[in-house]
Chains A and B, each alone.
Chain A
Amino acid sequence: MSKQYKAVALISGGLDSLLAARLVMEQGIHVEGINFFTGFCVEGHTHAIRKQHRARPRRNNALWVAEQLGIRLHIIDIIEEYKQVVINPRHGYGANLNPCLDCKVFMVRKALEWMNAQGFDFIITGEVIGQRPKSQRRVTMPVVARESGAHDRLVRPLCAKILPPTLPEREGWLERDKLLAFNGRSRKPQMTLANHYGFDDYAQPAGGCCFLTDRQYSRKLSDLWQTRGERDYDLDDIMLLKVGRHLRPRPGFKLIVGREEGENRYLEGYRRRFVHMIPVSHPGPLVLLDGETGADDLELAARIAARFSKGRDAAEVTIEVTGKDGTVRNLTVAPLPSAQIPQEWYL
């Protein structure tokens, strides 16, 4: 009886990894999926927080892909280990603070560890040569294979035919002729293949799967590091950067202003860790104050909170201010006119 070969597929929730896994399953390989949670994943959180996004499906796309394929999916929390990838990327950043190549190397290395621990034979990814400007180029493919330690046990089924044969191909575990030769940025070949397989509700690419590719998010993370004087973070830090307007009127403190009901509710979970304020004379946002605040700062923050309340055109708005020690007091202030909020305060 021939051996049942087993592959672990990196499943992002997008179309490419879905198709790559499907292609390999077609050759009788037992496939299981692995998905890494870095804390920067666009998946899930933002949709869960913001009320305006509730029309979108709430599904986790990696789980959805696994269910379409009929495979198990293992979701791995790599928040702590991933810090070194973000803080000290060996290959540097992309357009923003996205360490895409180091990220790919790291994830394939983690998949390799999982593969060895579980007795699997090789790794598959949905990478396509030329698909991404930083991490998916012809020159980076061998870098990922080499630096991850996966070497020729790393198979990219969607572009395998234009890469050197891997171990599974050479050994006949996979038929190379049945793999593909996708190349370049066009999504048409993937969409045609998805149609062939009957996949029609897959996640549409919308600016990547990671907040680190987002310019505004990266700016907020840079500001966090600069303010603290060190390049470090914890999960709460990076979650809070996804929520609300962030304004830094003075170097010593920052305001996080909820933009709508869902964000206010989310920020409520953090209020005990921050001086916080909320308008009480008019409906308005919950505002967290991050940093050290003097009396002048508190008044400025209250005026900004008033600006983002329904009382923005009123002569006065009363703001309830709660200290970290739980003491509560009210400040009655004039809302700060928009024109007096310099654009550079917005992170």
Chain B
Amino acid sequence: MAAVKPIDFLQAPSGASAAADAEAGLAFRALHYMVLMREVEDRIERKLYRQGKIVGGVYVGRGQEAIAVGVGLATEPEDVLFPCHRDLALYFIRGVHPRQVFAQYMGRVGGLTRGKDGNMHMGDLRLKIVAIISAMAASVPVAAGAALGIKYKGLPHAAFVFFGDGATSRGDWHEGINLAAVQKLPLVLICNNNQWAYSTPLEKQMACKNVADRGPGYGIPAEIVDGNDVFAVYQAAQRAAAHARSGLGPYLIECKTFRMTGHAAHDQALYVPKHLFEEWAKKDPIDRLERHMLRKGWASQEEIDRLHREILQLVDESVAWAEQSPYPDPSELYDNVYETPSGQGSEV
């Protein structure tokens, strides 16, 4: 599984000569991870999936990269992360290599689950990153439990749990937040409100205007940020983390964004009015960050182009590695149901 130590490609690119300026350095790191997430997911969704090389579903976070990256860069390595299925960059920030992600999607042993599960269902406790299950919001009480563990042990960390607008309708979401609020647990809740849950629009999901409106109902602070502005997300995450770490309890951040794809690769999202895609395309978080960096003089177009080229090269190499990774042997079917094999039902 993944190495705990961050690997080479995580270093800020050479173009960060302006890194004396911390903001510029942060911008470079953010851009790196956002582009990496975008390119890895594009390769999976638009190429490998169509080539039949992905064995199952594909769920991407195109247009939402600023959320995973903005929050991820505000966390510390000992914080426990509970990504949802549109937060791929969190894995890269924690040191997972893109080749492991490709192998994961292809059902190979080089993936984080060795083919036991697919797509974004992956985690590694050594990296403090917990795998989701398909029933969204189930992670919220579990993250509350991790936060409870942090508090129990008197550690200065926090748990960060990610979910979409749709998940906020589920009972687990309510139970988890309520428990965390009552116990004042160090839990940061990050909603990527992309306005669609599969084909269900927000107004059919909830009768209140914002997910953040629900915060006061639990007695916790909640704020709304522009989810396509990585700096805004980063700063909100810092506020939330400071709140959680100081023993004041959970903090909810609603990141307003838009799902620039269907629910999954098979879904053309014909139910989404076309003009919405066009409007939100203008707010693309990567374009915005690049324009900002150019305007501020933090990077030249040449440096940005080089970052893209290097990432594409990394993606090519990673796909090649994943395609060489073997499929699991069928005998692995029986491994790790329990710590020691129970011998149940394995031969009839």
A and B: partners? no
